[in-house]
Each structure stands twice: as structure tokens, then as C-alpha cells.
Amino acid sequence: MPGVRSESPSPEVSRVRMALPTASAKIASARAKVGERAKTPANSKAKGRSDAQEKRGRNGRLVPSLGCMSSPPLVPIGPDSEKRRCSWITANSEPHYVAFHDGEWGVPVHDDRMLFELLTLSQALGELTWPSILSKREELREIFCGFNLVLVSEFSENKINLLRSNGIVPLSEQKIRAVVTNAKQIQKVVEELGSFSNYCWSFVNHRPIANGFRYARQVPTKTPKAEAISKDLMRRGFQCVGPTTIYSFMQVAGIVNDHLSCCFRFQACSQHKASEK
């Protein structure tokens, strides 16, 4: 148009034009970050919330949140997990040892054949531990004819030497001979007193002794009562029946209840009566 001339842009306009590309770049960068967050399955905040969802139950076990229920629990939960046992039974104890503690140890026994078996197992403690003995229990029952007093008492010298030489019995020769000798002596006791049970239980007036110890260190290895029984057995011709062996026998036969007072078996064994069979 006439009278209008072209002029170069002012410095303010130039600054606005140069700033526009920079603002666009910032917007694009922000959009990219939003996209990356959308693709990420979980961030640190989400993880923190997930960890916070784990709560402790009443029994102290960790209870996973609903989002973690598909994974196995941190602590295995079993039907007997809440039962308190004697402190020598641990989470690493062998199952047959735990079953022996829960079902037999400390339960009053009045059957002569079973008392003979438990006396033999107690004698083996001098060479083996309870878990080892229990793992060989069926083998011992087979070797000693189910602990039949008559059959074992008839073992000949050749039979004893065969058992010793074959090495199939997890006992020393002295203990093998003691088993045979004790079977003979128990039969004499039966002839005199009517049963081996009557003889054993007469030392405690036919009532189990319940000690109720709180700690394992309080449980003795022998007592004056065990020494008295041991002395009388030796007088009668029994072998390998020292006070320590006899006290172990008294524990397993329920003549004495040495379950710790906090153990769930203490009350259960205390409720048994000596007259029960």
C-alpha cells in the first residue's frame, strides 16, 4: 500500500518467536514421561503400599496381602503347629521322634511284653540316641521275635553268636546277651508277683510320678528311686540295668511323667491312671 513500508521485527517479537520452540520441546518431554509411567507395571510408591498391606496375625505369622495370596506362606501352618512340646522337640526333629513324644513317651504302660521292649530300648540308649533307636525299632522287634519273653529267653548260644557275627543287631554283644538274660529274669518275676508290671509299679505305689519341671535342664538322668529299682533288678540277676538306664525306662514307661509343664502332653499323661491297660 502507498505510504506503508516494510520494517524489521522488533527485539520483543524476536524473543517470543525464539521461545516458542523451547516451550514445545518441554511439553513433548513431559508427554513422553507420562507415557513411560503408564507403561510401568508398578513403581516404588506402589511397592511401598504393597509392603504396607502385609500385617501380622494374632499368632505372629506374616499374613500376605490379597495380591500375594498365590505365593506360599512364609511359615508353614499345620494342625499341630500351635501345640507346645518339650524343648528337646524342635522344628528339625524327625517325624517318628515327634510321634513317639506325642503318643508314647510318658504314657503309663502295664503290658509285660511292652515293658520288656521299652526296657530293651532304654538299654540301647547307652550306644544310640532315641531317634536312632526308633528308626531301628521294627528291625529290633523282628530280631527279638516281637519281644516275646518265652521265645527270647530260649535263644541259644549259637543264635546269639549268629546275631553278633552278622552285625544285623544295632547292639553290642553285651546288650544282646542282656536282652536274653532279662527275658529269663522277667519270667521269674511273673511267677513270683503275677506280672512284671506289678513289680515295676510297686516301687511308686502304682501311681505315676509327675514332676512338672519347667526347663529341660531340671530333668535328672537318675534319681534315688531309679537307683533303688536298679539295685533290686541287679540282685535278681538282670543285666545292663544301671540307674541311668532304669530312669530312662521309667520315663518312657510312664512310671514317671517328665514332660515339661508347658508341654501339651504333661496334662494328658498325668490323667492316665496306673490301673489302665
Go through 247-257 and write b for each residue having 16 or more CB atoms within 10 A of its CB, e for each that does not. bbbbbbbbbbb
Task: Determine whether the annotation assigns residue 206 to a binding site.
Answer: no
Q: Return the SS3 of 247.
A: helix
**Spatial separation of the C-alpha atoms in residues 38 and 31, rounded to whole Å:** 11
86 is in an annotated binding site: yes
Q: Label each residue of 17-32 as H, E or C.
A: HHHHHHHHHHHHHHHH
Residue 98, judged by CB atoms within 10 A of its CB (0-12, 13-18, 19+), counts as middle
Q: Please state, in angstroms and rounded to a whole number, the distance separating the CA atoms of residues 4 and 201.
A: 133
Compute the distance between CA of residue 151 and CA of residue 146 in angstroms, rounded to an integer.
Answer: 9
Residue 218 C-alpha cell reads as 531340671
Residue with cell 509343664: 261
Q: Is 145 annotated in some ligand binding site?
A: no
Would you give the end-to-end CA distance of the chain in angstroms? 129
Q: Is 200 assigned a ligand-binding role in the annotation?
A: no
**How open is the CA angle 189-193-196, to the nearest 5 degrees?**
55
Rounded Cα–Cα distance for residues 182 and 178 (Å): 6
For residue 97, which of 109, 110, 79, 85 has the smallest C-alpha distance?
85
Binding-site residues from annotation for Zn(2+): 86, 101, 259, 263
Binding-site residues from annotation: 86, 101, 259, 263
